[in-house]
Chains A and B, each alone.
Chain A
Amino acid sequence: MKELILVFIAASITNNFVLTYFLGICPFIGVSGKIDSSIGLGIATTFVMTMAATVTWLIYYYILVPFNLVFLQYVTFIIVIASFVQFVEMVIRKVSPPLYKALGIFLPLITTNCAILGLTLFMVLRNYSFLEAVVFGLGAGVGFTLALVIMAGIREDLVFAEVPEPLQGAGITLIIAGMLAMAFMGFGGIISG
């Protein structure tokens, strides 16, 4: 149990996916303009991450490894993720149309979120057990949501600030991300992992 909690905290805070592994930067910089929409995107991504970790773990250890097909790893993982996103999209559309409308274009965008493929690769690299992999997926998703929402909050206020012209847009967002990364470094001492 203790290991699982450690994996969760490491994935969500001390080794935050966005701010230490640079995964999922595209939505982080492109989308995080409003708090509401970033919460929606964060929840959808967390869900896909948890499920993707579960499914790819099973495929990797029960199909690819026993049949010596590890070289197909990247192709398989990306297909699993893409079809999973498609599946989630269909289910949400059927079950809850309002939620589907609220998430809008964010759903298909999740496929190209490098955080998800990165998650599955790290999971294999670190030889996580099945439970650890699931918790790792959940923690990474929570960490992604956290970073996205903080960033959106800062950017909502940034509208009123006077940013030097050349830095407007991507430049200032990157610099803020750097400061956030420094702040998150402060958590580093909690656990090693």
Chain B
Amino acid sequence: MIKDFAKGLWKENPVFVQVLGMCPTLAVTTKALFGLSMGLATTFVVVSSGLVISSIRRFVPDQVRIPMFTVIIATFVTAADYFLKANFFQISKALGPYVPLIVVNCLILGRAEAFASKHGVARSGLDALGMGVGFTCALVVLGACREILGAGTVFGARIMGEGFTNWIIMVLPAGAFITLGLLVGGFNIIDKKVSKKKG
């Protein structure tokens, strides 16, 4: 049970290992805060859709399962979008169309198809939660890197000294691609060292 949860954090991390759900990952991580909100919204959708899908999995005919999953996911995304609009209008505005785009985040449909449609409710919930948390961590790390170098702050708090010149490129799309590429490389190095120690 614990394994279902923990594998999403590191071993099968959706961003660094599976390279899934790239659109929101790259698009919204200009600031750590946006990464965090996007991560939480995605976690909500992946967990609730995982719970629903795994509990109705016996009644869904095989041929129509993908459209059904998509409709369930889209429903929860609509809920998340309206919640953000009502309570955190500024964040919702900054994230723009990338909140509704959670619908086509391959991470969510991937979990539904690969795990929730084959396992019980409790395990699917844990699996989805692990993936969601892993996704959120990755987004916050990426957002923090880009915010430190692009604006000299983290979560709005000043980190770099007065003389620091902002690297504009980090806020632009090109910076997103390059930072994530390097982070994936760094992840692989650490992963290799850890697995070497283990055996």
Contacts and interface: CB of A to CB of B under 8 A. Distances in A.
B188 interface: yes
B11 interface: no
Nearest to B20: A26
Nearest to B22: A25
B22 A22 contact: yes
B172 A117 contact: no
B182 interface: yes
Interface residues of A, number: 44
A125 B98 CA distance: 12
B156 interface: no
A22 B26 contact: yes
A182 B25 CA distance: 19
Interface in A123-154: 125
Contacts of B177: 174-175, 177-178, 181
Interface string A151-185: 00000000000001111001111110111011001
B180 A112 contact: no
B100 A117 contact: yes
A15 B188 CA distance: 32
B2 interface: no
Given A75-B71, A166-B189, A178 B104 contact: no
A7 interface: no
Contact of B184 (A112, A114, A125, A174): A174
Interface of B: 19-20, 22-23, 25-27, 66-67, 70-71, 74-75, 77-78, 81-82, 96-97, 100-101, 103-106, 109, 169, 172-178, 180-182, 184-186, 188-189, 192
29 contacts: A22-B23, A22-B27, A22-B173, A22-B176, A23-B101, A24-B23, A25-B23, A73-B100, A75-B71, A82-B66, A82-B67, A111-B70, A114-B23, A117-B103, A118-B97, A121-B100, A125-B97, A166-B189, A167-B181, A167-B184, A167-B185, A170-B184, A171-B184, A174-B180, A175-B181, A177-B177, A181-B172, A182-B169, A185-B174
Interface of A: 19-26, 29-30, 71-75, 78-79, 82, 111-114, 116-118, 121-122, 125, 164-167, 170-175, 177-179, 181-182, 185
